[in-house]
Amino acid sequence: MDLTPYLDSLRRDLSATAAPGGPELARVADLLAGSLESAARLCLLEALSDAAAEITTKLSTAAVEVRLRGREADLVVTQLAPPAPPSPPPAPAPGDATGDVARVTLRLPEPLKEAVEQAAAAESISVNAWLVRAVADAVSATAVPPAHPGRASFGRRVTGFAQA
């Protein structure tokens, strides 16, 4: 949007207002109009920006912004993305009766079996549900490859050289 016609209209109105005062006053009005042009341009840009912001608050699917290019202001309408649809319900946890179920025989040392039973009881779930969740967690966890192939890795290990 070219602001020059609006500024020229302001200059003409100022000159017309000063014309009855004679040539000296017309010259002063012309000088004043020239010095006020940049302030008036800035004022017009602020008004356009405020209008764009107000229009944007009234629109639900678009945003209006004022972009300055050189001495011209461009009004840009940007379509906003539609609101995201509600997220689908979470996938059923492994062990829910929604798919095929396989039966597995598991042999545990007695102390480990007792620890599993205690952990399941503490969470108020069955031993089967506790084991299914534990296996699912173990399978889905990202395994970190050992730093040295062929060696067992136990937790985080820091190696290096230190000098005292």
**157: pLDDT strictly greater than 70:** no
| pLDDT above 70 coverage of the chain, percent | 76
CB distance 65 to 74 below 8 Å? no
- Which of 28-37, 68-77, 84-93 has the lowest average pLDDT? 84-93
**pTM for the whole thing?**
0.43
| Extents of the domains making up the chain | 4-79, 110-140
Q: Quick: pLDDT tens for 10-21.
A: 888 888 888 888
CB distance 77 to 64 below 8 Å? yes
CA angle at 33 for the pair 31 and 34, rounded to the nearest 5°:
65
- 3-class SS at 65? strand
